[in-house]
Amino acid sequence: MFPLGQDFDATSWASLEPVTNELISREINSTDELEVFFSDISDMAEHVSEAGAKLYIGMTCDTESEEKQADFLEFVENIRPKMSEISNQLDLKIINLDYLEQLPERYDLIIRSMKNSIELFREENIPLSVQCTKLSTEYQKIVGAMTVEFQGEEYTLPQMRRFLESNDREVRREAWILVRERRMQDSQRITEILDELIELRHKIALNAGFENYRDYAFRSMERFDYTPADCYEFHKSVETHCMPVIHTINDNRLIGFGYNKLRPWDVNEKSGDSPDVQGRGALVPFEDVSELVSLTSEVFHRLSSELGGMFDRLVDGEVLDLDSRKGKAPGGYQYNLEKTGLPFIFMNASGQQGDVETMIHEAGHAFHSMYCSDLRLIQERNYPIEFAEVASMSMELLTQPHWGVFYEDAEECRRAKRMHLESVIGLLAWICRVDAFQHWMYENPSHTHRERSEYWLKLRSRFGPRTDWNGFEEDESLFWQTQGHLFGAPFYYIEYGIAQLGALQIWAKQSIDPQGALSDYKAAMMLGNTRSLPDLFQAADIKLGFDEHHIGSLVDKINSALVSL
Q: Residues touching Zn ion: how many (CB under 5 A)?
A: 1
Q: How far is the CB of 389 from Zn ion (least distance, A)?
A: 5
Q: How far is the CB of 393 from Zn ion (least distance, A)?
A: 7
Looking at the Cβ atoms of 42 and 334, the one nearer to Zn ion is: 334
**Considering only CA atoms, which of 268, 282, 222 is closest in space to residue 495?**
222
Angle between helices 31-61 and 13-25 (to 10 degrees): 160
The 3-class SS string of 264-326 reads: CCCCCCCCCCCCCCCCCCCCCCCCCHHHHHHHHHHHHHHHCHHHHHHHHHHHHCCCEEEECCC
Nearest residue to Zn ion, using CB? 392
Looking at the Cβ atoms of 160 and 337, the one nearer to Zn ion is: 337
Looking at the Cβ atoms of 478 and 503, the one nearer to Zn ion is: 503
As a whole number of angstroms, the distance between CA 73 and CA 355 comes to: 29
As a whole number of angstroms, the distance between CA 550 and CA 555 comes to: 9
The 3-class SS string of 317-375 reads: CCCEEEECCCCCCCCCEEEEECCCCEEEEEEEECCCHHHHHHHHHHHHHHHHHHHCCCC
* DSSP of 440-471: HHHHSTT--HHHHHHHHHHHHHHHS-----TT
Q: How far is the CB of 387 from Zn ion (least distance, A)?
A: 11
Looking at the Cβ atoms of 334 and 467, the one nearer to Zn ion is: 334
Is 369 near Zn ion (CB under 5 A)?
Answer: no
Q: Which stretch binds Zn ion (CB under 5 A): 97-105, 118-126, 266-274, 392-400?
A: 392-400
Q: How far is the CB of 499 from Zn ion (least distance, A)?
A: 8
Is 500 near Zn ion (CB under 5 A)?
Answer: no
As a whole number of angstroms, the distance between CA 249 and CA 243 comes to: 10
Looking at the Cβ atoms of 362 and 475, the one nearer to Zn ion is: 362
- Say which amino acid occupies 559: N
- Say which amino acid occupies 310: M
Q: Which stretch binds Zn ion (CB under 5 A): 123-131, 352-360, 388-396, 554-562?
A: 388-396
As a whole number of angstroms, the distance between CA 101 and CA 30 comes to: 11
**β-pair type (320-323, 342-349):** parallel
Q: How far is the CB of 352 from Zn ion (least distance, A)?
A: 18
Q: How far is the CB of 420 from Zn ion (least distance, A)?
A: 15
Element containing residue 105 per DSSP (H, E) = none
Looking at the Cβ atoms of 155 and 430, the one nearer to Zn ion is: 430
Q: How far is the CB of 230 from Zn ion (least distance, A)?
A: 22
Looking at the Cβ atoms of 94 and 345, the one nearer to Zn ion is: 345
As a whole number of angstroms, the distance between CA 119 and CA 94 comes to: 14
Q: How far is the CB of 219 from Zn ion (least distance, A)?
A: 24
Q: Which stretch binds Zn ion (CB under 5 A): 113-121, 161-169, 245-253, 384-392?
A: 384-392
Looking at the Cβ atoms of 57 and 194, the one nearer to Zn ion is: 57
Q: How far is the CB of 332 from Zn ion (least distance, A)?
A: 9
Looking at the Cβ atoms of 358 and 453, the one nearer to Zn ion is: 358
Q: How far is the CB of 511 from Zn ion (least distance, A)?
A: 24
Q: Which stretch binds Zn ion (CB under 5 A): 262-270, 378-386, 391-399, 409-417?
A: 391-399
Looking at the Cβ atoms of 49 and 392, the one nearer to Zn ion is: 392
Looking at the Cβ atoms of 266 and 357, the one nearer to Zn ion is: 357
Q: How far is the CB of 293 from Zn ion (least distance, A)?
A: 19
Q: Which stretch binds Zn ion (CB under 5 A): 386-394, 456-464, 488-496, 555-563?
A: 386-394
Please, which residues bridge with residue 153 across strands?
150
Please, which residues bridge with residue 323 across strands?
349
The 3-class SS string of 511-524 reads: HHCHHHHHHHHHHH
Cβ neighbours of residue 75 under 8 Å, at least 6 residues apart? 11, 51, 52, 55
* DSSP of 480-535: GGG-THHHHSTTTTHHHHHHHHHHHHHHHHHHH-HHHHHHHHHHHHTTTTSS-HHH
Q: Which stretch binds Zn ion (CB under 5 A): 7-15, 109-117, 345-353, 389-397?
A: 389-397
Q: How far is the CB of 551 from Zn ion (least distance, A)?
A: 21
3-state secondary structure of 7: coil
Is 392 near Zn ion (CB under 5 A)?
Answer: yes
Looking at the Cβ atoms of 48 and 363, the one nearer to Zn ion is: 363
How far CA 516 is from CA of 242, 463, 543, 545, 556, in Å, comes to: 28, 35, 16, 21, 22
As a whole number of angstroms, the distance between CA 289 and CA 294 comes to: 9
Residues of this chain that bind Zn ion (CB under 5 A): 392
